[in-house]
Structure 1
Amino acid sequence: MKITEAMVLAAGLGTRMRPLTDTTPKPLIQVAGKPLIDYALDLLAEAGVERAVVNVHHHADAMMAHLSTYSRLQVLVSDERQGLLNSGGGLVKGLQQLADAPVFVMNADLFWIGETSSSSNLHRLAEFFDPGSMDMALLCVPPERTTGHNEKRDFSMAPTGKLTRYVDGDEHPVVYAGALVLDPALFSDAPSEAFNLNLYFDKAISAGRLYGIELSGHWITVGTPEAIVAAEHTMREHEEDR
């Protein structure tokens, strides 16, 4: 499946990143000399995405100024300055600017390095997604291939890729890597107010329609100032090992 549109969730307050986010929106915090959000946008551009919506709230003017300079794909802005809509509500609002077709959804504070498969993680995710049997397809990663994560296990993954909520002792625990594919029709019954996307993860699990694939490479998430140091260390190690 070819996917040419995406939504990047970037409107959070970045409270754990303070004091850096007192003056700078979290997606513009630099890691190895590059704003976080550019890592996400670059991954999408490399996967063939032509247009992406990015939601903004905290230091929105700075976000919009930066996004206006990004040239590898068309960037549209979903303005949440009047009130944050959480991950689910923000996604539903942003999708209104895109076509009614499957889209990538990514968080703005993560990326991955060292892909080893012949096809990129996002290409593989798009090929895996089957709207006939899946509500969403999530990119997931084993906990041991993460940097900056809090060690929480999100899901258990069956050999078929079917996901269930992780329970202590389950085999094949994985972490949600902050990238997924879905069909916007999934939100035909979405609440009009702010809500968390986890609501739809759980609905999909109940219906047996939440699936995932394992990320190739190493996953990095940056949620605190200390995580910047860890991320840059991992990136240097990766470069030295190449």
Structure 2
Amino acid sequence: MTQPRTSRAGIKQAMVLAAGLGTRLRPITNRMPKPLVPVAGKAMIDYGLDALADAGVTRAVVNVHHFPEMMEAHLAGYSHLDILISDERAELMNSGGGLKKGLALLEPGTVYVMNADLFWVGENPGEAGNLERLAGFFDPETMDMALLCVPLERTTGHNGKKDFQLDPDGGLSRYQDGGDNPVVYAGAIVMNSALLDDAPENAFNLNIYFDKAIAAGRLFGLMMDGEWITVGTPEALPAAEAVIARVTEKA
């Protein structure tokens, strides 16, 4: 990416969850944070930041813990978003607590939430990207959260776990063996920040809110375009880079 992103109407704010330790990616993460591990010559987190900028986001909060100075230096050099740091040096807040803390740095309203170590390539040229499609899909009247999802066969580096099953109307429930239309959570959410107004201030897992939304019939999913990639171990890097090379060659 060499050209600045042009802003579009829509969601302007995002929270990127980037504070994990990346223990399975050792020994690489003994010397750098997982989000900065290069995949096909590009820091892992930059795939997600670029997707947010392409979708019209102008400001993002990124939480830091592991090698925080390296993270801050890298993010200071990222020119396509105004990036604020949510500092978790003193204490890791888990996914839910980290999101709650980070959202306090943004204006109330609808936001994207993304994991820094999950990304996709190969969206359909000339069409709305996955994040824009997810924003258009989200209906605050009927949904607490809209999750980007992917079928298992379009994942690389995944452990094979099926997270949810996607109903014909887009509703999500926890996957049960033998269930129809199993999907993997692709690491991107659209939600209103007010959903976490009543959340605890300490560490907690965001899965609590997934389950609350399922119980209320308010968790929905949208199938993404392209190929989804996660790099959890050093051995997963070659496969990830092969997919990127294949998709790039087709483009």
Q: Corresponding residue for 1:12?
A: 20
Q: Corresponding residue for 1:216?
A: 225
Q: Corresponding residue for 2:158?
A: 149
Answer yes or no: is 1:191 the counterpart of 2:200: yes
* Larger CA deviation: 46-55 vs 221-230: 221-230
Q: Corresponding residue for 2:144?
A: 135
| Cα shift at 1:241 | 3.7
Instruction: Note the alpha carbon deviations across 1:88-135, whole angstroms, 9 max, x for none.
Output: 000000000101010000000111111127211000000010111100
* TM, length-normalised to structure 2: 0.94
Q: Corresponding residue for 1:60?
A: 68
Check conservation: 2:155, 2:229, Cα contact below 8 A.
yes
Alignment of 1:106-121 (within 5 A): 106-116=114-124, 118-121=127-130
The one-letter code of the counterpart of 1:88 is G
Any idea what SS the aligned residue of 1:227 has?
A: helix
Unaligned residue ranges in structure 2 (runs of 5+): 1-8
CA separation in 1, counterparts of 2:146 and 2:12? 16
The one-letter code of the counterpart of 1:48 is G
Q: Corresponding residue for 1:158?
A: 167
- Counting matched residue pairs gives 242
CA separation in 1, counterparts of 2:138 and 2:131? 11
Unaligned residue ranges in structure 1 (runs of 5+): none
Q: Corresponding residue for 1:72?
A: 80
Q: Corresponding residue for 1:233?
A: 242
| Cα shift at 1:239 | 2.8
Q: Corresponding residue for 1:39?
A: 47
CA separation in 1, counterparts of 2:248 and 2:32? 28
Q: Corresponding residue for 2:95?
A: 87
* TM, length-normalised to structure 1: 0.98
**Percent of aligned positions that are identical:** 63
Instruction: Note the alpha carbon deviations across 1:44-65, whole angstroms, 9 max, x for none.
Output: 0000000000000000011001
* Larger CA deviation: 22-31 vs 232-241: 232-241
Instruction: Note the alpha carbon deviations across 1:4-35, whole angstroms, 9 max, x for none.
Output: 00000000001001000111011110000110
CA separation in 2, counterparts of 1:238 and 1:2? 28
Pick from 181, 188, 191 the counterpart of residue 190 of structure 2: 181
Check conservation: 2:101, 2:201, Cα contact below 8 A.
no
Structure 1 segments, 4+ long, off by >3 Å, are none
CA separation in 2, counterparts of 1:135 and 1:186? 7
CA separation in 2, counterparts of 1:124 and 1:236? 25
The one-letter code of the counterpart of 2:106 is L
Any idea what SS the aligned residue of 1:6 has?
A: strand
| Cα shift at 1:188 | 1.8
Any idea what SS the aligned residue of 1:189 has?
A: coil
| Cα shift at 1:152 | 0.3
